[in-house]
Structure 1
Amino acid sequence: MSSPKVYEFRYYQIAARFVVQFKQLAVQHVPHRARRSRLIGIWMTELGALNHVLHVWEYESLAHRKSVRDEMYTDTDWTEFLGQVGPMFQMMDNWLCRCVAGDASSRWPDKEFYQLSTLKFAPIESAKTAATDCIEVCSQRPGFKAAFESLVGKANRLYVVESAADPDDFLSQTN
């Protein structure tokens, strides 16, 4: 029996004085990393918590994730990159999810604006019903990309990703 795909959300806060340098290094090194597993997207916050970076990686399974991470730690270019950016981080977090709605497998446009909504639910019994209702509503929005349910890390959460060509489009959407 095959495992469902796993999506790792990695979330960092960058010290403000390093934001430009981090962006330059990421543009240079992240494509090298993306050859080993699929990068769904990498974004930097502009509203809310500032100087935060979120990137989402797709894995065929947890075994695939482990294999990729093991490979990357033997890659000199990657470990040098980590040595450069590590001191820039003020906070690091990650969690694993599965895609429960939408299309995480297609290429999402780089030029669009993205919004990540995090919905936290009560204990698991009521979370499933609430998540189902939320997905039904959110998936009808014009910019809906995908919804991800937390598996490991951040319990009882649903992450909804939406996009728009114009950021003002988010203001016209109803919650």
Structure 2
Amino acid sequence: MFSTRAAIRKSFSLTRHVNQLRASISTGPQQQHGTFYEFRTYQIKPKHNAAFLKLINDKIHLRTAHSELLGCWTVEYGGYNQVFHIWKYDSFAHKAAVRAAVASDPQWMEQCISKALPMLTSQELEATYLVPWCKIENPPKEGVYELVTFQMKPGGPAVWGKAFQGAVSAHAKTGYSHLVGVFHSEFGLLNRVHVLWWYENPDHRAAVRHTAHQDARVVAAVRESVLYLESQRNKLLFPTPFSPLQ
């Protein structure tokens, strides 16, 4: 009887292992914690651009008292009169608690939000996770950033993840570009991946791009990845004075 029970337990354990393996193969590697990054893009009315930036610069300390700001940038190319920022949260419960606290903060609401909202034409929010094979890497010094957004074919990382990682790694590991982070969308358009790069200045970025595109290793990796690509968009970002990432 005991041998029968042991056999049943062993069979159940094996079945569970096989199911977990199948799930891993079908979905690809996943983050094992709840930390996520909220991407916010504000479109500013052109006549209010300077005033909006000054207001945020003066009052952002009221907002960062509630949660961590990873970085904030103005968009130089790829979306003029835009401010893009990334906020870090431990979980969606954490985000909900911060949102409630911010909404009940009279200083932030009266001194900043009430003045900022009339200056905007739109706001876009997206929840993202760092991909499992990447962590945030601070740049070596002040510079500029490039946000490259890839809309991949449906299917998720199980379909295109390996090829995409290969293309990113081909640029980062060869020393052409400094990789800050790779983010996979959770809410917003799915199958979207954002890659944040750092460069010393725009001319450095242009020179690096020219050199990398003559490297056979980079060319081969990119050719494999674009088989799964639907569209791509690049933005050149300048950090604001108060941005933690400079």
The TM-score normalised by the length of structure 2 is: 0.65
Runs of 4+ with >3 A deviation: 106-111
How far the C-alpha of 1:61 sits from its partner, in A, is 0.6
The number of aligned residues is: 173
TM superposition shift of 1:109 = 7.3
Question: 1:75 is aligned with what amino acid?
Answer: D
Q: 1:128 to 1:57 in 2, by over 3 A?
A: same
2:103 aligned to which of 73, 84, 88: 73
For 1:113, the aligned partner's letter is: V
In structure 1, the partner of 2:164 is 131
Task: Name the aligned partner's letter for residue 143 of structure 2.
Answer: E
CA deviations over 1:72-118 (Å, ceiling 9, x no partner): 000011112111111111111110001114432x6557832111000
- After superposition, residues 1-175 of structure 1 pair within 5 angstroms as 3-80=33-110, 81-100=112-131, 101-104=133-136, 111-125=142-156, 126-140=159-173, 141-172=176-207, 173=209, 174=212
SS class of match (1:45): strand
Read off the aligned partner of 2:196 and give its amino acid letter: V
Which deviations, in whole Å up to 9, do the C-alpha atoms of 1:20-65 show, x marking residues without a partner? 1001111112122112211110001111210011000000011111
Greater shift, 33-42 or 128-137, is seen at 128-137
Corresponding residue SS for 1:26: helix
Which structure: larger Rg?
A: 2
Pairwise CA RMSD: 2.0
Partner SS for 1:8: strand
Per-residue deviation, residues 141-160 of structure 1 (Å, max 9, x unmatched) = 43211110111112111101
CA gap of 1:111–1:123, structure 2 versus 1, over 3 A, is same
Q: 1:158 to 1:24 in 2, by over 3 A?
A: same
Contact 1:40/1:108 (8 A) holds in 2: no
Structure 1 stretches of 5 or more lacking a match? none
Aligned residues of 2:139 and 2:178 also touching (Cα < 8 A): no
**Displacement of 1:124:** 1.9
The structure that is strand-richer by fraction is 1
| Identity value in percent | 27
CA shift, 1:168, in A, is 0.9
The structure with more helix, counted as a fraction of residues: 2
How many angstroms apart in 2 are the aligned matches of 1:66 and 1:131? 32
Q: TM-score, normalised by structure 1?
A: 0.89
- Structure 2: any 5+ residue segments left out of the alignment? 1-31, 214-246
Are 1:6 and 1:61, in contact at CA under 8 Å, matched by a contact in 2? yes
Structure 1 residue 131, shift from structure 2 partner: 3.1
